Amino acid sequence: MNEQEPAVLEVENFNVELMTDNGVFKAVNNVSFRIGKGQSVTIIGESGSGKSTTAMGLLQLLPPGLAVLSGTVRLKGQDVISNPQAIAKFRGRGLALIPQDPMTALNPVATIGAQLREAIKVAGRLKSKSDQQQRAIELLTQVRIPLVEEQLKKFPHQLSGGMLQRVLIAIALASEPELLVADEPTSALDVTVQAGILDLLLELQETRGISILMITHDIGVARMVSDTIHVMKSGQFIESGDAAQIVDAPGEEYTRNLLAAVPRLGSWDETSLSTEGAS
Ligand SMILES: Nc1ncnc2c1ncn2[C@@H]1O[C@H](COP(=O)(O)OP(=O)(O)O)[C@@H](O)[C@H]1O
Ligand SMILES: [Mg+2]
């Protein structure tokens, strides 16, 4: 990726301080990185290293009373730290988040179709109900959900975890994102489903040129999807570089341990279940 390519996201000296019962905790410490158009950047780190706090902080999704943000976060050139209102116009239009937990991200009492059509409506391009319905069908087809028209009438609890994750990707795509932030989008899924979802994200990136910020604790996922990897430990980036370089020749012991912890793509272990669910 050419460095001259205009950045979709530019982060400089970004900090997040969390107000806890035990005082102020610096969860994100002086983080800097950029994502160019069509580029895929991964933040990898062990559970509790500050990945979700970084992603949620960048997107202004942390409760203001709990988190104090500082530094610079420019989204398409606009600093959303000095001007938090600036992010509102990107939300649902051009900026999308695939959240960590598919089971809790959807509204349990609304159908898949209603939630997808709402996202399409917020994106603003399609006004008529029939166009929105048509688009909902297109999006579910694109994320390879079978028997689309039937699925649209279902409620979240009627779908498997893998299908729900696909629905969340479809909802994210409804906003026609230039930047997609995916927080452990596959860690709750089994290996085959995981590979299918990652394939899908890669294909969407190729066909639409979207930029991706991928958050994972799994270096197999990082290697598969990213151009650049930043390794996070205790709120800081301790190592950054080309994906191949970080995977093949890690400079840090911590990174080597992440590599050793994942013998193959999408290893699915009890640690990731018990700790990621809570973080
Ligand atoms: N609401 C909160 N209150 C206090 N501490 C929190 C809160 N959320 C996260 N933390 C702490 O911030 C650190 C980073 O958490 P997180 O960003 O969720 O890590 P990761 O996504 O890498 O697993 C952890 O030490 C976690 O305990
Ligand atoms: Mg997390």
pLDDT in tens, 60-96: 999 988 999 999 999 999 999 999 888 988 887 889 9
Q: Residue 237 C-alpha to ligand 1 middle, in angstroms?
A: 16
Ligand 1 centroid from CA 133, angstroms: 39
More confident residue, 131 or 197: 131
| Average per-residue pLDDT for the chain | 88
Lowest model confidence (mean pLDDT) among 59-73, 135-149, 194-208, 245-259: 194-208
Helix or strand or coil: residue 258?
Answer: helix
What the block records as the tokens of 233 is: 């430990």
Distance 277 CA to ligand 2 centre (A): 8
- Per-residue pLDDT band for 219 (boundaries 50, 70, 90) equals confident
Same domain, 168 and 226: no
Question: Are 6 and 78 part of one and the same domain?
Answer: yes
State the closest ligand 1 atom to the C-alpha of 279, by its place in the atom list counted from 1.
18
User: Looking at residue 34, which CATH number applies to its domain?
Assistant: 3.40.50.300
Contact 221, 246 (CB under 8 A): no
Q: Which of 18, 26, 69, 101 to mutate to test the pocket of ligand 1 (most atoms within 8 A of CB)?
A: 18
Q: What is the pLDDT of residue 5?
A: 61
Task: Identify the bridge partners of residue 232 per DSSP, sorted by sequence position.
Answer: 45, 237
* 57 Cβ inside 6 Å of ligand 1: no
- Same domain for 128 and 187: no
Residues 106 and 188 in one domain: no
Same domain? For 235 and 155 the reply is no
Q: Which residues of 118-149 are buried (b: 16+ CB within 10 A; e: fewer)?
A: bbbbebeebeeeeebbebbbebbebbebeebe
Domain boundary among 154, 174, 194: 174
* 222-231 pLDDT per residue, tens: 888 899 999 9
Atom number in ligand 1 closest to CA 20: 4
- Rounded Cα distance between 183 and 215, Å, is 5
Same domain as 197, residue 166: no
Structure tokens belonging to residue 198: 């990652």
Is residue 218 pLDDT above 80, yes or no?
yes
Residues 194 and 237 in one domain: yes
Ligand 2 mean position, distance from CA 150 (Å): 33
User: Are 151 and 243 members of one domain?
Assistant: no
Mean pLDDT for 195-208 is: 85
Confidence of residue 1 (pLDDT cuts 50, 70, 90): very low
> What pLDDT score does 191 carry?
77
Instruction: Give me ligand 1 centre to Cα 185, in Å.
Output: 18
pLDDT of 193 over the 70 cut: yes
What is the number of helices (H) and of strands (E) in the chain?
11, 10
- pLDDT value for 232: 98
Residue 87 and residue 216 in one domain: yes
For residue 158, report the distance from its CA to the centre of ligand 1, in Å.
Answer: 31
Q: Which atom of ligand 1 is nearest to the CA of 47?
A: 23
Report the share of the chain in percent with pLDDT over 70.
Answer: 91
Q: For the chain, how big is the Rg over CA atoms in Å? A: 18
Q: Is the CB of 133 under 6 A from ligand 1?
A: no
Range of the domain at 205: 1-94+178-279
Interval 42-68 mean pLDDT: 94
Name 236's Cβ contacts closer than 8 Å, sequence gap at least 6.
29, 30, 31, 50
279 Cβ inside 6 Å of ligand 1: yes
The proportion of the chain whose per-residue pLDDT surpasses 90, expressed as a percent, equals 61
**DSSP calls for 130-183:** HHHHHHHHHHHHHTT-SSHHHHHTS-GGGS-HHHHHHHHHHHHHHT--SEEEEE
Do residues 157 and 185 both lie within one domain? no
From 121, 155, 174, give the residue that closes a domain: 174
Rounded CA-CA distance 72/13 in Å is 7
The predicted pLDDT at position 278 comes to 41
What is the reported pLDDT for 187? 74
Ligand 1 atom having least distance to the Cα of 276: 23
- Determine whether the shortest distance from the Cβ of 49 to ligand 1 is under 6 A: yes
22 burial type by CB count under 10 A (0-12 exposed, 13-18 middle, 19+ buried): exposed
Structure confidence at residue 152 (pLDDT): 96
Overall domain count for the chain? 2
Find out whether the beta carbon of 47 lies less than 6 Å from any atom of ligand 1: yes
129 & 202 share domain = no
Q: Is the CB of 51 under 6 A from ligand 1?
A: yes
Which residue's CA lies nearest to atom 27 of ligand 1?
48
Q: pLDDT per residue over 132-161, tens digit each?
A: 999 999 999 988 899 999 999 999 999 988
CB 175 within 8 A of CB 123: yes
Q: Which two three-digit tokens encode residue 26?
A: 């610096």
**Index of the ligand 1 atom closest to the CA of residue 183:** 21
Task: Check the CA dihedral 47-53-55-56 and report its sign.
Answer: positive
Question: Which residue, of 155, 174, 193, is where some domain finishes?
Answer: 174
Q: Are residues 169 and 219 in the same domain?
A: no
pLDDT(53) > 90: yes
